[in-house]
Amino acid sequence: MHIPDGYLGPITCALFYLIMIPFWYKGILELKKLDPRKLPLLGVLTAFSFLVMMFNLPVPDGTTAHMVGGTLIAILMDNPWVATIAISIVLIIQAIFFGDGGITCIGANCFNMGVVLPFVGYYVYKFLRDKVGEVIASGIGAYVGIVTAAIVAGLEFGLQPFIEPGYCPYPFTVAVPAMAFAHLITAGPAAAVVTAIVVWYVKKVRPDLFTSQNKQVSGVNA
Amino acid sequence: MNWQDPLVKKFLYVIIAMILLCPLGILLVWDYGDAWGEWGPEDVSEKVGEDKVSGLLHLADIWAYAPLPDYNIPGWEDKVHASIGYIISAIVGVALCLGAYYILVKVVNPQASSS
């Protein structure tokens, strides 16, 4: 889902950098307010996200896809804004040091994987949590989140020929189904299983991280 | 930040295991193509014609300074070398992520990060 340099034209790239500014700004503010006990966990989850993206999975059409970890971070932090920051760190490092995802497309890639993915995933999880339980809800959230992000990436690829021709040559009638397929069938299920397992495990061993700070204090006093 | 937290330590073990296992991420897809939309510029222009992607060809190589392009040491093409290059990239990537995150938290939240 890492759009490389060249596939989006200058106007599209600039637009997504602009869109990202308020998300990055609000994300930094939320990071400032985050329960300090969660800060080390967010750090290792950032590295975890970098690594899960290295596990490319085969897609039957001959391409590959990978999970991202954005929904997982949003659920464990109980805050999709800081997931935007964590995933953006990963994507910027990938673009600069590993040439994965374009420098010009950092805005678009951060929007797809760092905003659409964790926000959709987190709110699907929130909506389902009381109905199907937290573990199943987190798996479904991760699945819907990554598939939605892939479709949005497909729309960006596919609208490019209509915005400025000469960049991505494929219209959205080609790009959207291709992006959706790879993530519906491969990356989505992987994201669902991994997210559900990690959420289940973390909430089992560290329920204290998920009570609010005030409750935690009164709990300690009691 | 309390990096001695047992849960954080467990994640660090998971991260080490993932670094060692990461070559699976290229070996399982060795004969597969790129992810959709991530083809090299030559491959696209060959497929659709150079005139259709003039802008793409112009922008594609704008960033030629990645030290580990495609998570590999340039020239390490066979499976064994590419796997080692991939592991090196994973170690470098994890270090960069943890370092960048640590600095960011230090800057935005100095009190929390010193406790």
Determine, yes or no, domain membership for B70.
yes
Determine, yes or no, domain membership for B41.
yes
Is B35 in contact with A65 (CB distance < 8 Å)? yes
Q: B19 lies in which domain range? A: 6-114
The length of chain A, given as a count of residues? 222
- Which residues in chain A are closer than 8 Å to B30, comparing Cβ atoms? none
**Residues 86 through 115 of chain B touching chain A, CB cutoff 8 Å:** 86, 89-90, 92-94, 96-98, 100-102, 104-105, 108-109, 112-113, 115
Determine, yes or no, domain membership for B56.
yes
The whole-number pLDDT of residue B51 equals: 92
Max intra-chain CA distance, chain B: 59
CA gap B35, A67 in Å, rounded: 12
Is B16 in contact with A48 (CB distance < 8 Å)? no
CA nearest to A46 within chain B = B97
ipTM: 0.96
- Which residues in chain B are closer than 8 Å to A68, comparing Cβ atoms? none
The whole-number pLDDT of residue A212 equals: 62
Determine, yes or no, domain membership for B98.
yes
The pLDDT tens digits of the residues spanning A176-192 come to: 999 999 999 999 999 99
For the question of whether the overall pTM of this predicted structure is more than 0.90, the answer is: yes
In the DSSP assignment, the letter for residue A65 is E
Determine, yes or no, domain membership for B1.
no
Determine, yes or no, domain membership for B43.
yes
What is the phi/psi pair of residue A122, to 5°?
Answer: -65, -45
Say which amino acid occupies A163: I
Question: Domains (ranges, CATH) in chain A?
Answer: 10-206 (1.10.1760.20)
Determine, yes or no, domain membership for B84.
yes
DSSP per-residue letters across B36-101: TT---HHHHHHHH-GGGGHHHHHHHTS----SSGGGS-TT--SHHHHHHHHHHHHHHHHHHHHHHH
State how many domains chain B has: 1
Residue pairs spanning A and B at CB distance below 8 A: 216
Determine, yes or no, domain membership for B45.
yes
CA nearest to B11 within chain A = A44
Residue A208: pLDDT band by 50, 70, 90 thresholds? confident
The pLDDT tens digits of the residues spanning B10-61 come to: 999 999 999 999 999 999 999 999 999 999 999 999 999 999 999 999 999 9
Flag whether pLDDT at A217 surpasses 70: no
Say which amino acid occupies B15: I
